[in-house]
């Protein structure tokens, strides 16, 4: 079932008041989502990389031209939304998709039963000349910020990834309810990354994004990923 933005935030703020960690989990199949809910997660997110992970591939496959990210997440919706009973489910939306009228697509996301959105796939995972050229040709992080702004104005819960303090500020200014400080790919496991920040390094990294986002809005909740 879908939840309103206010309902989700009330739950999460109660967790904070009670000193209980907020846990969001990605799901690539209905059975994953079903048991994530049984385990007590607060948020479930589905995005194209979840399907690629279930196919034995790394999460970064979701940033490659291996499928239509926004079509994939809508296809996954029928499998996941029908088995999750009492946990908000969010859609990973590719905000840079030039073939979607984003306001129209977000209404479809809401209508099918999602409670909110996250910016994935995201160009925030890309750096160097390639990232610079994406920014210069209308496929940059700013498009993702505008997607979050539109979703916020529609009343959807917004939980965007930010990769540095400036992006944290931008997302908070766009109305993000939750800023997720992305500290890089998860390590270990069968297909995890081997290059990553240390746990000690991650603390300062996340705190810098937290300070930036909360400098814009003290209401922003900050979570971490990676």
Cα distance between residue 124 and residue 188, in whole Å? 22
Bridge partner list, 103? none
Q: Give the other-Cβ count within 10 Å of 127's Cβ.
A: 10
| Structure tokens belonging to residue 28 | 């690539």
- Judged by DSSP in three states, 171 sits in helix
pTM to 2 decimal places: 0.93
What are the tens digits of pLDDT across the range 189-213? Answer: 666 667 778 888 999 999 999 999 9
CA atoms within 13 A on the CB side of 26: 19
pLDDT-based confidence at residue 3 (cuts at 50, 70, 90): very high
- Does residue 122 surpass a pLDDT of 70? yes
Torsion angle (degrees, nearest 10) of CA 73, 79, 83, 87: 0
CATH 3.30.540.10 fits domain 5-225: no
Task: Give the pLDDT confidence score for residue 197 in this predicted structure.
Answer: 83
Residues counted in the chain: 226
Rounded mean pLDDT of 59-71? Answer: 94
What are the distances in angstroms from CA 137 to CA 12, 97, 134, 140, 143?
Answer: 38, 12, 5, 8, 11
Rounded mean pLDDT of 88-106? Answer: 98
Cα distance between residue 159 and residue 162, in whole Å? 10
In the chain, % of residues over pLDDT 70 = 97
Identify the CA nearest to 167 among candidates 185, 202, 143: 143
Task: Give the pLDDT confidence score for residue 188 in this predicted structure.
Answer: 64
């Amino acid at each position: 079932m879908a939840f309103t933005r206010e309902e989700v935030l009330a739950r999460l703020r109660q967790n904070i008041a009670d000193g209980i960690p907020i846990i969001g989990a990605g799901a690539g199949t209905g059975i994953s989502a079903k048991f994530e809910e049984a385990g007590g997660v607060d948020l479930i997110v589905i995005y194209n990389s979840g399907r690629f992970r279930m196919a034995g591939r790394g999460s970064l496959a979701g940033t490659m031209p291996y499928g239509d990210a926004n079509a994939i997440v809508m296809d996954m919706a029928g499998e996941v939304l029908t088995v999750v009973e009492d946990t908000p489910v969010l859609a990973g939306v590719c905000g840079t998709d030039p073939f979607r009228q984003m306001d129209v697509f977000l209404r479809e996301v809401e209508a099918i039963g999602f409670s909110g959105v996250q910016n994935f796939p995201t160009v925030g995972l890309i750096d160097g000349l390639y990232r610079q050229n994406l920014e210069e040709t209308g496929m940059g992080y700013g498009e993702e910020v505008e997607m979050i702004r539109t979703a916020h104005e529609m009343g959807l819960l917004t939980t965007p990834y930010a990769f540095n303090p400036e992006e944290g500020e931008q997302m908070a200014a766009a109305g993000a309810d939750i800023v997720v400080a992305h500290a890089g790919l998860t390590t270990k496991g069968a297909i995890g990354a081997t290059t990553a920040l240390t746990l000690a390094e991650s603390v300062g990294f996340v705190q810098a994004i937290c300070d930036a986002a909360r400098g814009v809005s003290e209401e922003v909740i900050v979570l971490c990923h990676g």
